[in-house]
Amino acid sequence: MTLSRSFRLSPLVAGIIVAVLQTGVIGYMVESRAAILRNGADIRLKTSPVDPRDLLRGDYVILSYPISTISKSIVTGDIAPDGTRARLSVRLKPDADGLWNATEARFADMAPENGSVILRTLPFVFNTYGAGEMPDTLFVQYGLERYYVPEGEGRALENARNAEELEVEARVSHDGTPQIARLLLRGEPVYDEPLY
């Protein structure tokens, strides 16, 4: 004799399970960001002017950094295969002014070194344009390119960014993920990112 059972969850139990899973996912995302801000390595970055056609859109400021332009002269090791999605590990070291600059980049993980921090870029399509060799410059992003501000307060930050008077203090996790911690206007804090 064969017994077959069909298992069905009541709608209430299914709803509770879905709510718990959604809450867990959102909690994980918030805590991941907060953990970087609590425990990450501190770095200070100079911002670069952005093409004026990309000014404030809504309630955020577009940020660009000198570390987003990677010269092939600092790339070590093997290059990624042509046309693939790749990530760079970028070693940053501070200069005499306390601003962090890219000193080495690699398409693979890098070993930690005293006095340096390693950032991981966001994935990008690596293309040699059929030449089979590294382009002279790679333009990368780290996830630090937007900063949300209260409505109507972005214009002063854009002007400061374009005048090269705006800096960003960021924290970097052990796996190379950065998070903006603070904006500095002429060296003075203007926005602090809360943990939660």
Is 6 contained in some domain?
A: no
| pLDDT in the model for residue 9 | 77
Number of independent structural domains in the chain? 1
pLDDT tens digits in sequence order for the chain, 196 residues long: 555 566 787 888 888 988 999 999 988 888 888 888 888 888 888 887 664 444 445 567 889 999 999 999 999 999 999 889 999 999 999 999 999 999 999 999 999 999 999 999 999 999 987 777 889 999 999 999 988 887 777 888 888 888 989 999 999 999 999 999 999 998 899 988 887 7
Task: Give the structural domain span for 113.
Answer: 35-192
Is 28 contained in some domain?
A: no
Is 17 contained in some domain?
A: no
Q: Can you tell me whether residue 120 is helix, strand or coil?
A: strand
Distance CA 111, CA 114 (A): 10
Spell out a b/e string for 136-164, using b for 16 or more CB atoms within 10 Å of the CB, else e: eebebebebbebebeeeebeebbebbbee
Is 12 contained in some domain?
A: no
DSSP labels, 149-172: --TT-HHHHHHHHHTT-EEEEEEE
Name residue 6's beta-bridge partners.
Answer: none
Is 54 contained in some domain?
A: yes
Phi, psi of 120, rounded to the nearest 5 degrees: -110, 130
Distance CA 77, CA 105 (A): 9
Amino acid at the residue 35: A
Distance CA 37, CA 144 (A): 13
| pLDDT in the model for residue 5 | 65
Distance CA 77, CA 54 (A): 35
| pLDDT in the model for residue 52 | 45
Amino acid at the residue 119: L
* Angle at the Cα of 196 from the Cα atoms of 19 and 58, rounded to 5 degrees: 95
pTM above the 0.85 mark?
no
Contact indicator for 105, 135 with CB cutoff of 8 Å: no
Is 80 contained in some domain?
A: yes
| pLDDT in the model for residue 84 | 93
Is 174 contained in some domain?
A: yes
Is 10 contained in some domain?
A: no
